[in-house]
Structure 1
């Protein structure tokens, strides 16, 4: 247990280590452990931009990122890379408002980093703490990676509220995780849709963990029947919507509105506002990123977006301002010349369990867990019938398990690489 003066002292020690480095950002292999958290908090306090990255990035990916962004040091990765310093050679210094850099898609090697400002991080942390009514008596485990915006937001919002975070590398499928959760009397649990699918298969019951009162969900659309099921089991169940580009959360659906607003992503977090522009969801708020970065030079730029984020999601608002997401603007494929929304495919097949849809050459590939050859044919014919397209336009493939990013989201890039 680290708190109060001891926590302050440890952050101060980490600040001295960071201050001794050359100017520029640092790359942190962000593990769910105390050294990583202390390094992160120290960077925020000392004014050093810090990129929170998957500590298990492939060496080639890490080297490519380091070559483009020229960090002052690589910390928390492999022993060979740990502490490595790189010459910045005339690269402009990062903008003074820049605080945190997050990758847009976990460990897939996406070339862009999200630039978050010193005001965006605490603004979103406080907004989440308010929306979820987090108080100093709450305790949350790190059930998600801290280099993922959802996982990081759990840490930030609880610290902002003076609450407690239990650091663990154990996953939800490990017995040690649940032992830890009960031992430290954790009051909440954050998970993405795939984790809830697994919890259902494990017949998870919050009642078996007396201190656990709150479940939260983000990271994609959760099947409506699972929302109903877990909402009935938990004292409080929050459906949330967010993007890394908005630091973390954009909207929260209060537990007491689940029944009256089925399928909604909720209301804008405190301090934020939602609008719809030609079908696209647009978020306005202090937690919007400064912009993307593809090279070290981009880190010197100021705020490119002015607090306005075009999310790339399609949706609408009801008369009370509740948001409903209907799909992604770029998740569009063509089958025999007909435009088909891949999110609609996944929603249509939600009764089939874990499903993922990707696009190909005039075909859609559907990946379904645990499906045999006959089942694949049946599912393809079902899609053809319901969408009024010839079933040969759907390539249905059975897989033992869908590939996942470290964040728990489906790794669509890995699936597309198989086609």
Structure 2
């Protein structure tokens, strides 16, 4: 029997339509969708997943029917979608986008359905495929098994204490692994999920938080920068007791500020660490210890463990030794998918994930992330961490809050939101002096708004394309 995501007592509130589905009604609708999906040709399903009820039912229906489903950004460029269709020959694309129907498909009931009844059957353990490149390059699809999805959802529900009394709004889209993780962890715990598509910076979103007594929020670093500007005060929402953060490193002053805000309101800030390849979360910092260790993402989730890999390939758990972070746990992906044939492959990683992140463990096994192996730029031949450069720009005292750094030949371009030309010049000079390199190596440019992905992460590729 296929393991289920829908826990006892779960409830879905679809705010745009005003519909409320309890456990029985939800299971009935999911069963109908599952029956429809089971009739489609063999192959992976492509679900263009919006923040809406049909997308949620489509995801759960695929899970219930045992159909592997790729959750795609509905804003994916037509050319990129066409290329994915060519590579993976999906059973169907749901819902069909506007434009020409691809060769070998026909439009039927709002979907593109493959004409050829024969196709590569995905591995029976495969449940979900998600794009993994995040904000920095060409996406790859991570193959996530049912057991990995469920193990991670249950571990998150355990460490956060999620139960039937919890109410979570849809802060992030389901095609983004963090957003899907929030959804999964509340579903398995039998909690309530409120579907509100306006996003965490929209007025309707905050109306929904108050109206439905939401108990938790999930946000990425950019959201915290914006919430600070909006003077977010959790006291206004009496039932709000936890805010979780993932999707990149949050600067220490914001951790301190939001930790104080949440504790002052009787709640907590939970800093988390994860990657899509881990279904996606690997660590959670206990809120009650955040002030004690503000730079840590916490210990590994139940069932998981961290080690640190040296340059020679050896691993250690000794404290204060920096190297590449390696994670082991039941939530690690099966491997990457490159085309339709690779969907049929079994587990290729054996529960071991080399993260590409740099970090170290302390004496208690709490993890500290210090950088990213691939987020490196060069200024006159000198390698520099782009993440550290962003932090250095904020620390200049010139009023730079939202900034994104991208490499450009033998210099680094830093896009800063809403600053004047004279501030750009002063920031370039300050960075040069701080790093003992000529200021021309730091090209600081003003931008009206940093481009974002649907997940709320900075779209570094879009910035690179502007250079």
TM-score interval, normalised by the smaller of the two chains:
over 0.9
**Gapped regions of structure 2 (runs ≥ 5):** 1-19, 102-109, 311-322
Question: Equivalent residue for 1:404?
Answer: 452
Determine the C-alpha separation between the residues in 2 that align with 1:358 and 1:149: 24
Question: Equivalent residue for 2:390?
Answer: 346
Which runs of structure 1 show a deviation greater than 4 angstroms over 4 or more consecutive aligned residues?
A: 87-91, 106-109
User: Which SS does the other structure have where 1:268 is aligned?
Assistant: coil
From 69, 94, 97, the counterpart of 2:88: 69
Determine the C-alpha separation between the residues in 2 that align with 1:338 and 1:77: 48
> By how many angstroms is 1:4 displaced?
2.0
Contact 1:138 1:186 in 2 (8 A): yes
Contact 2:378 2:410 in 1 (8 A): yes
Aligned in 2, Cα 1:248/1:88: closer, same or farther, shift over 3 Å?
Answer: farther
Contact 1:267 1:322 in 2 (8 A): yes
Q: Does 1:417 align with 2:452?
A: no
Question: Equivalent residue for 1:290?
Answer: 334
Determine the C-alpha separation between the residues in 1 that align with 2:347 and 2:237: 44
Question: Equivalent residue for 2:38?
Answer: 19
> By how many angstroms is 1:83 displaced?
1.1
Aligned in 2, Cα 1:66/1:172: closer, same or farther, shift over 3 Å?
Answer: same
User: Which SS does the other structure have where 1:326 is aligned?
Assistant: strand
Determine the C-alpha separation between the residues in 1 that align with 2:254 and 2:158: 25
Aligned in 2, Cα 1:58/1:146: closer, same or farther, shift over 3 Å?
Answer: same
Q: Does 1:125 align with 2:157?
A: no
Matches within 5 A, 1:89-104: 91-104=119-132
Contact 1:247 1:288 in 2 (8 A): yes
Determine the C-alpha separation between the residues in 1 that align with 2:286 and 2:175: 26
Question: Equivalent residue for 1:383?
Answer: 431
Contact 2:69 2:129 in 1 (8 A): yes
Q: Does 1:163 align with 2:182?
A: no
Q: After superposition, what is the alpha-carbon deviation per residue over 1:17-48, rounded to whole angstroms, capped at 9, x for unaligned?
A: 10110111100011111111111111112110
Matches within 5 A, 1:232-243: 232-234=260-262, 235-243=267-275
Determine the C-alpha separation between the residues in 2 that align with 1:411 and 1:87: 36
Question: Equivalent residue for 1:44?
Answer: 63
User: Which SS does the other structure have where 1:84 is aligned?
Assistant: strand
Q: Does 1:274 align with 2:306?
A: yes
Q: After superposition, what is the alpha-carbon deviation per residue over 1:357-411, rounded to whole angstroms, capped at 9, x for unaligned?
A: 1111110111111122211111111111111111111111111111100100000
Q: Does 1:362 align with 2:410?
A: yes
> By how many angstroms is 1:318 displaced?
0.6
Q: After superposition, what is the alpha-carbon deviation per residue over 1:133-170, rounded to whole angstroms, capped at 9, x for unaligned?
A: 11110000001111100000111000111111101111
Aligned in 2, Cα 1:350/1:127: closer, same or farther, shift over 3 Å?
Answer: farther
Determine the C-alpha separation between the residues in 2 that align with 1:202 and 1:145: 22
Q: Does 1:265 align with 2:297?
A: yes
Determine the C-alpha separation between the residues in 2 that align with 1:22 and 1:378: 60
Determine the C-alpha separation between the residues in 1 that align with 2:434 and 2:215: 43
Contact 2:46 2:92 in 1 (8 A): yes
> By how many angstroms is 1:90 displaced?
6.1
Question: Equivalent residue for 2:362?
Answer: 318
Provide the TM-score with structure 2 as the length reference. 0.87
Question: Equivalent residue for 2:315?
Answer: none
User: Which SS does the other structure have where 2:294 is aligned?
Assistant: coil
Question: Equivalent residue for 1:58?
Answer: 77
Q: Does 1:228 align with 2:256?
A: yes
Question: Equivalent residue for 1:301?
Answer: 345
Determine the C-alpha separation between the residues in 1 that align with 2:94 and 2:381: 49
Determine the C-alpha separation between the residues in 2 that align with 1:108 and 1:100: 22
User: Which SS does the other structure have where 2:111 is aligned?
Assistant: coil
Aligned in 2, Cα 1:60/1:109: closer, same or farther, shift over 3 Å?
Answer: farther
Provide the TM-score with structure 1 as the length reference. 0.97
Cα RMSD, aligned residues only? 1.5
> By how many angstroms is 1:57 displaced?
1.6
**Gapped regions of structure 1 (runs ≥ 5):** none
User: Which SS does the other structure have where 2:217 is aligned?
Assistant: strand
